[in-house]
Structures are given as structure tokens and as C-alpha cells.
Amino acid sequence: LSFRVSENKPTSGGFTQFFDKVPLKYAGFNQTEFTDSGTRVVPGALARRGAYIASNVVLMPSYVNIGAYIDEGAMIDTWATVGSCAQVGKNVHLSGGAGLGGVLEPLQATPTIIEDNCFIGARSEVVE
């Protein structure tokens, strides 16, 4: 419902501006907050607020949408995308350019789930 009633607004992304309804997850983080999160966020990686990203995760230049869940030890490699509400298990490597489908609507739709210790090859697409 928030997407339908909220207005887009300018948001600073450091190297650029965005015009969106949902702010970026790490906007305004300082060194202490990054250290406490235990997550490595490489320049060019974007995660929207509302995504859960566990400790010991590496986000290469990638995109993680709202509602996504990324568990400990995962690597989201360059140009990989994790769709809204997709679930990534522990120690998963989502290779370069791979994508996981997302689902926000309809509410009864089921998310894409990658279980623990999986390797998803480059340029692969996994959808529901």
C-alpha cells in the first residue's frame, strides 16, 4: 500500500541522485554502523531500506530490492540482482549478472528461495 500512496522524492546516493519512494538501506551509515553490521558494501552496490542483510555478507556492485533476505556469508557478485522478497540462504554465491526474481504483489505469490550453500552461476535467472 505504501508504494501506491507515497510520493517519490529526491534522495542522495553519494555519486548520484535518485527519485524514489523508498530510501537506500545504507544512506547515512557511518563507519561504526558499517562495522557493527559486519557487511562489506562495495561502491556501486545498492540495497533498499527494508531488505535484511546479515553479517559477513559481501555486496559487490549489485542491487538488492525491498523485502529481500540475505543470510550470513553470502556473496552477491557484480551486477547480480536480488528481487523483492527473494530469500538467499547462508554461504550462497550469487555470481556475476545472476538474478533472483522478486514478488511484491499479489500478496499470495511465493518468493524465490535459494537455500544454504548454493552456487548460482553467472548470468543465471531464478524465478518463481
Q: For 83-120, write each residue's pLDDT tens digit.
A: 999 999 999 999 999 999 999 777 668 899 999 999 99
* Residue 36 annotated to the active site: no
23 or 95, higher pLDDT: 95
Q: What is the pLDDT of residue 1?
A: 54
Among candidate residues 67, 77, 83, 99, the one labeled active-site is 77
Q: What is the pLDDT of residue 28?
A: 87
* Residue 20 annotated to the active site: no
N-to-C CA span, the chain: 23
Among candidate residues 67, 83, 99, 102, the one labeled active-site is 102
Model confidence pLDDT, tens digit, residues 42-83: 999 999 999 999 999 999 999 999 999 999 999 999 999 999
* Residue 125 annotated to the active site: yes
The structural domains of the chain, ordered by start, are 39-126 (2.160.10.10)
